Structure 1
């Protein structure tokens, strides 16, 4: 393999399409009271949850629909920004205020967010890779590292 050869990045829809799709997903959640917009994670696929964070500048509640997996009592997700550059706003908000509220099929709870590090990061990344075959290729297309965000249960 030559030095100039890079693995081909998997196809992504245009950024505007990704942002529109997630906006429609949030609207579907609101319109149906959450009945059709969320999916439970299984060992074979990731699910979708609604995470409400506090805006780091506004102090207002900011809901977002995210993909998630389960790890014991914890949920975890990837701060991938639709595989675009930079960190997603919800992750920047959680770094400023890690307390949030998660709703998914099968439960809802107050959570505290943190970035997985070291061996935990590698283990959770490998779990996510089981359901997303192009995970490493998508991540390699970003100059921003993709954080694995752990959502631990908290009282209240």
Structure 2
């Protein structure tokens, strides 16, 4: 759904869905990453299930530093691809991991099933609409949340890569 359509959708309902305070969202992110580190990734990653998204750890290459950067993201599967959204906690601005992927689209993903190399790209046109609709089935407030952002939310497709490459 485009940002304009999402905004109209939220306005038409006459109310905005509440989000947790920003400090809570950031604290949760840090806590989730700490749980992964403390348990050596035994807890904190899960597979998507019917009606629910999964959690993965994405390792990108920093666009300025060239250093590995890790983040935990929600995802759904679309065939062999993993799909996530560059939402930045529904705050303005693009998340750093998405900016890193735009500069260096090859990355490493760790899921509950193991590690795989991926190539990231933005979903466009019909593919974006289809994938957005899949996410909207999992999160009934998706359009309201997206309406809070001044720009559209990128739907990011992580395609498996077979060729050997440097691991970020």
Q: What band does the TM-score fall into relative to the shorter chain?
A: over 0.9
Superposed counterparts of 1:5-154, under 5 Å = 6=11, 7-154=14-161
Report Cα offsets for 1:10-64 as digits up to 9, x if no partner: 1111111111100110110010011111111113100100000000000000000
TM-score (norm 2): 0.88
Structure 2: stretches of 5+ with no match in the other structure: 1-7
TM-score in terms of structure 1 length: 0.94
CA displacement at 1:109 relative to structure 2: 0.3
Runs (4 or more) in structure 1 with deviation over 4 Å come to: none
| Structure in which a larger fraction of residues adopt helix | 2
SS of residue matched to 2:131: helix
User: What is the total number of aligned residue pairs between the two structures?
Assistant: 153
**Secondary structure of residue in 1 paired with 2:89:** helix
Q: Distance in 2 between matches of 1:9 and 1:69?
A: 25
Provide the rounded CA distance (Å) in 2 between the counterparts of 1:11 and 1:43: 25
Q: Aligned residue for 2:5? A: none
